[in-house]
Amino acid sequence: MTLLLDTLALQPVDRRPVWVMRQAGRYLPEYRELRRRHAFQDAIRDPKVASEITLQPIRRFGFDGAIMFADIMTPLEAMGVDMTFDPGPKLRPMTLVEIADLPDLDLDRVEHVAETLRIVRREVPDEVTVIGFAGAPTTLLAYLLEGSGSKEYLPLRTAMHEGTPELDAALAKLTTNMHAYLAMQIGAGAQLVQLFDSWAGILPRDLLESRSYVAARDVLAGLDAPTIYFAPGTGHAHKSMGEVGATAYGVDWRVPIDVAWDRIGSDIAIQGNLDPAILLTDPDRIRRCVARLLERTAGRPGHIVSLGHGIDRHTPLENVAAFIDAVREAT
């Protein structure tokens, strides 16, 4: 067991584990240098490059988790969806019927993801947990219907309100295949998997509970590894989030971590939730904010220290180091 896995199991630990979303990314000079030679999708598809990117933040900062370098849209390409990234995903908007009729995930076409995980598992220190991930059905549906990112995701919201059999079929297609995708990752060496529901929070509580949470629960059910469910902007539905059945829940910075923890459930692990903007300030302020975060958890077992969302690409390296040092010096 690793520190991160022990924490997820609510075991006593000497210090709290720390990792952040997008830790393998544009704030790192070594990442920017590598990306000058490899386009985004090409980097994902080359296990040597993807594993190198995954390992870069581990070497520099010693994070307790190594999350594989990929994108939540990666498995959709292996289901026949054509897309480009500029920098976010761009694709032809699809109908619910078209989504439901997509072919099932071709695991051979995501073998590069499996190989990336195998390489990372071999090369990380034993104390570092290898993390896989997938996009949740609601969030993938948002992109497929829209054709890109959006502030409003009106096609998703409209479809959710209408609640047609075609919606059920589209969600079922994505649910079944994301479960298979995560199971493949676990078989390839992921010790923990996180389900990103980035746009579920745009929905009202009743649809979160009846659609998003149900689909997420079915994706995670029966997986042979601990799971984390991360759905930012869902403070209005924290009290029912525990129905997803994850091992732990990531929370964003909008709700104090102790409040979110009590709402979701005191018998689970929690991940978060420092505002990423704090890492754009200065080391002294970062240390004070980390201290306040840790005070709010009051030493409860099961806290994974992280940001409430992905690290910003403009974050200074010295501020990341101050964040990690503050966590480790305090616990």
Active site residues: 22, 26, 35, 71, 143
Cα separations in angstroms, 181 against 24, 76, 100, 120, 282: 21, 10, 17, 18, 40
Residue pair 64/4 in contact (Cβ under 8 Å)? The answer is yes
Selection from 182, 160, 292 nearest residue 229 by Cα: 182
Q: Is residue 70 classed as helix, strand or coil in its secondary structure?
A: coil
Strand pairing report for 303-307 and 269-274: parallel
Transcribe 12-53 into DSSP letters. --SS--B--TT-SSTTSHHHHHHHTTS-HHHHHH-HHHHHHH
Please tell me the distance from the alpha carbon of residue 187 to that of residue 168, in angstroms, as a whole number.
29
Phi and psi at residue 36, to the nearest 5°: -65, -20
Strand pairing report for 84-85 and 89-90: antiparallel
Residue pair 249/285 in contact (Cβ under 8 Å)? The answer is no
Cα separations in angstroms, 50 against 39, 112, 207, 307: 11, 9, 36, 23
Transcribe 267-302 into DSSP letters. TSEEEEEE-GGGGGS-HHHHHHHHHHHHHHHTT-TT
Please tell me the distance from the alpha carbon of residue 302 to that of residue 53, in angstroms, as a whole number.
28
Cα separations in angstroms, 197 against 74, 168, 188: 15, 17, 23
Please tell me the distance from the alpha carbon of residue 227 to that of residue 223, in angstroms, as a whole number.
8
What count of other Cβ atoms lies within 10 Å of the Cβ of residue 286? 23
